[in-house]
Chain A
Amino acid sequence: MGSEVRLQPDPFLNELTNMFERTTEKGSVWVTLKHSSDKSKVQRNKMKTCGEKIEYRCLVRATDGKKTISTLVGPKDHQRFQASYATILKARMTALRKRERKDKRKAADSDKKEDSKIRSTASKTTN
């Protein structure tokens, strides 16, 4: 695997979006979340013995199999990050199957185009 590139949260999110864009035809995007203090074990042990508090962060890694990026998200920026992250996923993960509506107005399979147009504008307003 190539080396990992550490980015600030916003550039990370941009690059993550690019990864999704690059893998629409084929390939996968992996995103992993992990607790991290971003310090070596030796440092951590030293801090523990001094009674120093280790600030934890969330390490987010993303890869498309060729390129790997990562970023650290702390307690102050995690809410903003998670919101942006959610927006990206929502915009990008569109290949998953939508559930069929139970209250179908029209019979199955007839004129889906009209229906889905209405549905997509409707779903936008539920935000």
Chain B
Amino acid sequence: MVYITSWDDFVEKSVQLFRADPEKTRYGMKYRHCDGKLVLKVTDDRECIKFKTDQAQDAKKMEKLNNIFFTLMARGPEADISEVSGKDQVEAQPAKKGRGRKQ
């Protein structure tokens, strides 16, 4: 089991693991409000990677990873995730409005 310190590496590795074995790979999150700690885990039962944090900004980043996984899992491992973004993405387009989703 490996704790990955770079968020981007964690994301990249997670997607890799999933695409290599979409049936087995699962993505989990553990949140402890009392400790203010968040741990993410991706495993295919052979490899296991984790990311832990106590930073609010990482929760925002996690949102994007959540969306990536929802897309991959509900649409298939070949789904295009280049458009996936969190709600408050700083980069590129300011939101694909028109989805009708306000607060």
Contact = CB atoms under 8 A, between A and B. Distances in A.
Given A82-B66, A96-B59, A31 B29 contact: yes
Main SS of the interface on chain A?
A: mixed
Given A35-B22, A56-B76, A96-B59, A28 B31 contact: yes
Contact of A96 (B28, B55, B67): B55
Contact of B30 (A20, A25, A30, A36): A30
A96 B36 contact: yes
Interface residues of B, number: 43
Contacts of A92: 31, 33
Interface string A100-127: 0000000000000000000000000011
B1 interface: no
A31 B59 CA distance: 14
A73 B73 CA distance: 9
B87 A127 contact: yes
Contact of A35 (B25, B57, B66): B25
Given A35-B25, A96-B58, A89 B34 contact: no
Which 4 residue pairs of A and B lie closest in terms of their CB atoms, listed nearest first? A58-B73, A78-B74, A95-B36, A34-B26
Given A32-B28, A86-B66, 15 more contacts: A23-B32, A25-B33, A29-B30, A29-B31, A30-B30, A80-B101, A83-B99, A85-B70, A86-B86, A90-B63, A92-B31, A92-B33, A95-B35, A96-B36, A97-B36
24 contacts: A20-B31, A25-B34, A26-B34, A29-B31, A35-B26, A58-B74, A73-B74, A74-B74, A82-B66, A82-B67, A83-B101, A86-B86, A89-B62, A89-B63, A89-B66, A90-B59, A90-B63, A92-B33, A95-B33, A95-B35, A95-B36, A96-B54, A97-B54, A99-B57
Interface of B: 22-23, 25-38, 53-59, 62-63, 66-67, 69-77, 86-88, 99, 101-103
